[in-house]
Amino acid sequence: MDFKVSAERISVNVPTWAVLQARVTERLAQRQGFALATLNLDHLVKLRQSPQFRRAYAAQDFVTADGNPIVWMSWLAKRPVELVAGSDAIVPIARIAAKQGVTLALVGSTQASLAAAKSYLEREVRDLEVALTVAPPMGFDPTGAQADAVFEQIAASGAGLCFIALGAPKQEIFAAAGRRKVPHVGFASIGAGLDFLSGTQTRAPDWARRYAVEWLWRALSSPKRLLPRYAQCLAILPGQMFSAMLQRFRTPQH
């Protein structure tokens, strides 16, 4: 499933949970790195605005569909993909790492949230070791000297997998840089996922996710911050859906 962004195309190249787990298992078993991004409408808005973000997305090895609108558009295009949200991927990927004897690094959020997330993961995932937690300061530059220092810490810790909770586009830019700096480490951008595990943020209840209105629940819980963001997302939705429909007829089936 492809999405037109400026003159470039962004592809969801991991269509299902099963494919994601197989690819992550293979990379971790071989001690090879990767960068994982989870595409949603907010990312499509930001990708239109930022060449740097587009370059970072082009460097991602794996891209999943994080958001029902992305899934619905894949149906329109006859390229169906499953919903694979970053927050939902944390524990399954951590289990893969534990089975492979790969230790974990957590980067982003706050130190208190990371400590709570570390405790949660090590309690829930048998044999998992969180070797490093780093909460970058405000104004953190994901490509600057501060980022290089974090990459050095990750390398020194021996971690083979890093969950990044910096928010878009910083986390994807950081992951793309990490692929060059520490190529044996897998970087997974998971947004607010660690805050959900730590309890710092409350995730939408099951019913909201089941009926695909998690976005509305979140908007009402933090309207000043999120309503403008979702308004931008809704503004691009008709055009994206039309492009998906065109893709249905124009792109050869494989």
Q: pLDDT tens digit string along 99-149? A: 999 999 999 999 999 999 999 999 999 999 999 999 999 999 999 999 999
**pTM of the complete model:** 0.92
Mean pLDDT for 14-39 is 97
Asked whether the predicted pLDDT for residue 212 surpasses 80, the reply is no
List the one residue out of 2, 78, 84 whose CA is nearest residue 36. 84
Q: What percent of the chain has pLDDT over 90?
A: 74
d(CA 72, CA 80): 8
Question: In this predicted model, what pLDDT tens digit does every residue of 154-190 receive, in sequence order?
Answer: 999 999 999 999 999 999 999 999 999 999 999 999 9
Asked whether the predicted pLDDT for residue 253 surpasses 60, the reply is no
List the one residue out of 118, 100, 185 whose CA is nearest residue 150. 185
Question: In this predicted model, what pLDDT tens digit does every residue of 81-91 receive, in sequence order?
Answer: 999 999 999 99
Instruction: Please report the DSSP string for 177-203 in residue order.
Output: HHHHHSTTSEEEE-TTHHHHHHTSSPP
